[in-house]
Amino acid sequence: MSITDLERQAQQAENAPVHAIEGRSQWSLTRQRLRRDKVAMASLAVIVIMVLLAIFAPAFAVLVHHPANAAYPITGENSAGQPVGPGTNGFWLGTDDTGRDLMVRVFYGARISLFVGIVTTAIATVAGVTIGMIAGYFGGIIDTILARVTDAVLAFPYVVLALALAVVFGPSLTIVIAVISFFSWAGIARIVRGQTLSLKEKEYIEAARSIGAGPLRIMFIDILPNLLAPVLVLATLYIPSAVVFESTLSFLGLGIQPPTASWGSMLSAAQPFYQTAWWFVVFPALALLITTLAFNLLGDGIRDAMDPTTERLVAARRRKGPRGSPSRSRNDDLDLIIAGDAK
């Protein structure tokens, strides 16, 4: 290579349009990795569809002319008074025990399940993060007491106590939300406490303290942002368990009360129809399964995307590595590798 070649190259490099080196945050990296995860994206799509079905359930009921709580003893039941199967008399998924449109009720059930899942997770997350952070940050006697309470809540046979609370205060949506929130914060608190314990020893916390920041400021401005990643993953994984919890309470008759549609109470009502009306069991069960599975898969995907050292991504990288994937630029690979090595 002659010196003129080198000069020309240098010239080219100087004349090339200047690209600012884009700093990318942890979040934008995570988003990118998540977007490449087909399973997580499919789960997200399923969740969005479920949310849309829940939101537009009333519109849907108008469309098929079957309000959620209206019974159709003539078209919706056969001559023996039994529910009719899918596709009969304009009931796409069949009818339930009192001749109501099963599909409309499954969509209405999504409203309850998703609402309870999201609201209780929000409450439990706020409570769990606050308690875990206080326990981890202050330590000492406060930590001991809070940790004991957390352990006690975690170890308690919660279905039994939930049943008792639901009976004592009378079953209602509010009680369901209160009970589920009460039993959900402890798991989050435990993990947040552990994270806070290690974070508070970091130099930057010491620096904050040395310039006179108070405990509240340190907790909410310095520690909290670093907790967001694990908490986000946990919250995504708590939504499905809250949905399961709600349906269990409703199944036992202590959650959402009839005639309001809820997947749990539908499955409970379906019990005498195992032999005669499989659709009455299968469709609410499928709706429940698909929803919780989608949230679990999405939560898994987010966790993998946040931690590039997890095997799934490493394996995917290895699989695609030698052949190279056209959809991914070289830069992205670099990001993955750097982020992976840094861990």
Partner 1 sequence: MTLAWFLIRRVLTGIVVLWAVASGTFFLFFARPVQTVAHQLAGRTATPAVIQNVINQLGLNQPIMTQYWHFLGRLLHGNLGYSFFTQESVNTMIKQDLPPTASLVVGGVILWLIAGLGVGILSATRARSLFDRGSTVLVLIGLSMPVFVVGELLIVAVFVPLNQHGLTWIQTQYAGPSQGLGAWSGHMLLPWISLAVVQAAIYTRLMRGQLLTTLGEDYIRTARAKGLSERRVIFTHGVRAALTPVVSQLGIDIGQLLGGVVVIEVVFGLQGLGQVAVAAIYQDDLPVIIGFVLVAAAFVVVANIVVDLVYTVLDPRVRIA
List the structure tokens of 182.
Answer: 């009460």
40 binds partner 1 (CB under 8 A): no
322 binds partner 1 (CB under 8 A): no
The Cα 113–Cα 173 span in angstroms is 11
289 binds partner 1 (CB under 8 A): yes
297 binds partner 1 (CB under 8 A): yes
220 binds partner 1 (CB under 8 A): no
Smallest gap, in angstroms, from Cβ of residue 145 to partner 1? 15
Are 199 and 205 spatial neighbours (Cβ–Cβ below 8 Å)? yes
List the structure tokens of 112.
Answer: 């309850």
27 binds partner 1 (CB under 8 A): no
In the numeric block, the tokens 């987010």 are attached to 302
Q: Among 74-82, 127-135, 162-170, 204-212, which window interacts with partner 1 (CB under 8 A)? A: 162-170
Each as own residue / partner, the long-range contacts of residues 147-154 (CB below 8 Å, 24 or more positions apart, any chain) are: 147/190, 147/193, 150/186, 150/189, 150/190, 150/193, 151/186, 153/182, 153/183, 153/185, 153/186, 154/186, 154/187, 154/190
167 binds partner 1 (CB under 8 A): yes
Q: Among 21-29, 87-95, 273-281, 329-337, which window interacts with partner 1 (CB under 8 A)? A: 273-281
Q: Return the residue of 64, 274, 321, 334 that touches partner 1, per CB under 8 A.
A: 274
The partner residues of 77 in beta bridges, in order of sequence, read 83
288 binds partner 1 (CB under 8 A): yes
Q: Among 18-26, 86-94, 209-217, 284-292, which window interacts with partner 1 (CB under 8 A)? A: 284-292
Nearest Cα to Cα of residue 262 among 273, 274, 246: 246
DSSP 258: T
37 binds partner 1 (CB under 8 A): no
Smallest gap, in angstroms, from Cβ of residue 85 to partner 1? 14
HSE toward the beta carbon, residue 88, CA cutoff 13 A: 20
The residues binding partner 1 (CB under 8 A) are 154-160, 162-165, 167-168, 240, 244, 247-248, 251-253, 264, 267, 270-271, 274-275, 278, 281-282, 285, 288-289, 292-293, 295-297, 300, 311, 315
